[in-house]
Structure 1
Amino acid sequence: MPIWICKTCGAHSALNDAPPPHCIICDDERQFVPEGGQAWIAREALISTHVNEWSELEPNLIAIGVSPAIGIGQRALLVLSPHGNVLWDCTPVLDGKTRDRILELGGIKAICPSHPHFYTGMVEWSEALGGVPILLPEADLAHVMRPSEHIQPWRGDRHEVLPGIVLHRLGSHFEGSSVLEWQAGAEGKGALLVGDTMQVVPARGWVSFMYSFPNLIPLPAREVRRIAGRVAEIRFDRIYGAWSDKLIASGAGESVARSAERYIRRLET
């Protein structure tokens, strides 16, 4: 049976001869169903037309994206460490060359998606790489489109994946929206991989926070204040977002604090 991929968000459905009538990710008010209606494409139809592209962002951090882009167009980030490798976020397609290359690098110990919009091909990646655990916040399990025995729910606000690699549940975009703290990143100053739990914006050195980015639904001031307080407890100097141009190379902790203050001020004025 084929793997059906939502054309709008890249989510994989449970295996079936026919695509499902709805995508629960796109039906949610944080995403959208296009004017032309829900559409799916079989994964097999993409094999000859789409590939994974790699780029090294810094030592031991590799970006992997699908070209041409599918759905939201986010990238996955592969963190290499002496204790094992971790995949942050996921993409809708995994090609054979990428699978082989990851295995040559020692495989991965865990897949850690930031939130449901980037679950996409997480089960395919897990199975292709040997049944890798998929670590999902318990709060977001209702958004899983393709169930798997490899999904391992976690509770609370903090979960150590490997030494020096820590998940932090911040909420905001989704109740389980998370960031990944990579303590060895940024030359040992620490890097935060954020997906779009916080969105790096075009203005240099700023981020923003939204309940829905495509539909421009803001978060309340109290939520932004809470998130900023949590982030202030994490040591980091750099932020990597979900797309190639989403980077704050240094001073990122101060950037988050300053951005939260501006957001709250605008809401409360």
Structure 2
Amino acid sequence: MPAWICWTCGVQQAESDTPPASCPICTDERQYVGWEGQRWTTMAELAGERASELREEEPGLLGIGTQPSFAIGQRALLVSTPNGNVLWDCVSLLDDAARAEVARRGGIDAICLSHPHFYAACVEWADAFDAPILIPEADRQWIQRPSDRVRLWQDSVEPVPGLTVARIGGHFDGAAVLHWPAGAEGRGALLTGDTVTVVQDRDWVSFMWSFPNLIPLDPATINQIVERIAPLEFDRIYGGWWGRVVIHDGAAAVRRSADRYLARLRGERPA
């Protein structure tokens, strides 16, 4: 039986003879059902229409996207370390080119995910590389394709020695970031998906309950995000899409972006 993939969000569902009636990810107010209604595809159909796009983001960091773009268009990141490799976030397509390149780099020791919108075909990737999928307990309800490979965690987890995934909340209760101390030439990198999203002005980031529907977060949650990120040392931020990178001064970008966000919520305008 196929594991159907939602055309709008790209998240794969449990195997079934016929497509589900709806996608729970898309009917939630943080996402949306496409204007043409609920549509489904399969991994085989995607492989016939699209191909993986592989880019070296920096030494030890491989970007994995899909060309032409599919669903919400994110790219995953493979972090390679001396202690093992971690796939951060996921995409809906796994083709021969991506499989071969990831295998050449040593495979995947764990898959970690920023939030449910980026779960994509994580079970397919986990099965291909015999890897566990680490999902925060707080987002258990959003797992669309159950698997024995799923491992639930609470506030933080170390998928391989030297890498830390921390739950910061916000976009989802289990929204998380991955801290890579060796990234950015040893200055540290934070991989965020869009739990902390890098905006068009790449000196800044932002935070939302819903990005497509433009629903903001509340002040208490913004403060919580900043507080949970504060202990992590990093200079660079990798968001969830190609080019969405804060190159330098990432920790300060989070703080000043939160201050700006909170000021606008209070009704303050720039001088």
With the shorter chain as reference, the TM-score category is: over 0.9
Query: Number of matched residues?
Result: 267
How do 1:199-238 residues align onto structure 2 when only pairs under 5 Å count?
A: 199-238=197-236
How do 1:1-269 residues align onto structure 2 when only pairs under 5 Å count?
A: 1-130=1-130, 132-155=131-154, 157-269=155-267
Residues of 1 paired with 2:35 and 2:108: CA distance? 39
Task: Answer with 223-232 or 138-147: which moved more.
Answer: 223-232
Unaligned runs of 5+ in 1: none
Residues of 2 paired with 1:187 and 1:146: CA distance? 37
* 1:5-62: CA deviation from partner (whole Å, max 9, x where unpaired): 1000001111111110010100111001123211111221122221111111111001
Residues of 2 paired with 1:4 and 1:246: CA distance? 29
* Aligned-residue RMSD, C-alpha: 0.9
Residues of 2 paired with 1:109 and 1:122: CA distance? 13
SS in structure 1 at match of 2:158: strand
How far off its partner does 1:74 sit? Answer: 0.3
How far off its partner does 1:70 sit? Answer: 1.1
Instruction: Give the AA of the match of 2:255.
Output: A
Query: Under a length normalisation based on structure 1, what TM-score does the superposition of the two structures give?
Result: 0.97
Residues of 2 paired with 1:150 and 1:207: CA distance? 33
Superposed structure 1 runs of 4+ greater than 3 Å apart: none
* 1:87-115: CA deviation from partner (whole Å, max 9, x where unpaired): 00000010022112212221111000110
Residues of 2 paired with 1:35 and 1:204: CA distance? 30
Please tell me whether the aligned partners of residues 221 and 268 of structure 1 are also in contact (alpha carbons under 8 angstroms): no
Residues of 2 paired with 1:2 and 1:108: CA distance? 24
Residues of 1 paired with 2:257 and 2:86: CA distance? 29
SS in structure 1 at match of 2:14: coil
Residues of 2 paired with 1:63 and 1:204: CA distance? 18
SS in structure 2 at match of 1:217: coil
Residues of 1 paired with 2:246 and 2:127: CA distance? 33
Please tell me whether the aligned partners of residues 163 and 181 of structure 2 are also in contact (alpha carbons under 8 angstroms): yes
Q: What percentage of residue pairs aligned between the two structures are identical?
A: 51
SS in structure 2 at match of 1:228: helix
Please tell me whether the aligned partners of residues 202 and 244 of structure 2 are also in contact (alpha carbons under 8 angstroms): no
Please tell me whether the aligned partners of residues 198 and 244 of structure 2 are also in contact (alpha carbons under 8 angstroms): yes
Please tell me whether the aligned partners of residues 83 and 160 of structure 2 are also in contact (alpha carbons under 8 angstroms): yes
Query: Under a length normalisation based on structure 2, what TM-score does the superposition of the two structures give?
Result: 0.96
Instruction: Give the AA of the match of 1:142.
Output: Q
SS in structure 1 at match of 2:166: strand
SS in structure 2 at match of 1:128: helix
Please tell me whether the aligned partners of residues 2 and 44 of structure 1 are also in contact (alpha carbons under 8 angstroms): no
Residues of 2 paired with 1:42 and 1:108: CA distance? 23
* 1:193-239: CA deviation from partner (whole Å, max 9, x where unpaired): 00000111112310011000000000001111121122121100000
Residues of 2 paired with 1:240 and 1:114: CA distance? 12
Q: 1:46 to 1:238 in 2, by over 3 A?
A: same
Please tell me whether the aligned partners of residues 66 and 73 of structure 2 are also in contact (alpha carbons under 8 angstroms): yes
* 1:54-83: CA deviation from partner (whole Å, max 9, x where unpaired): 111111001000111111110000000000
How far off its partner does 1:120 sit? Answer: 0.7
SS in structure 2 at match of 1:210: coil
* 1:119-159: CA deviation from partner (whole Å, max 9, x where unpaired): 010000001112x100000111111111101011111x221
Residues of 2 paired with 1:107 and 1:172: CA distance? 31
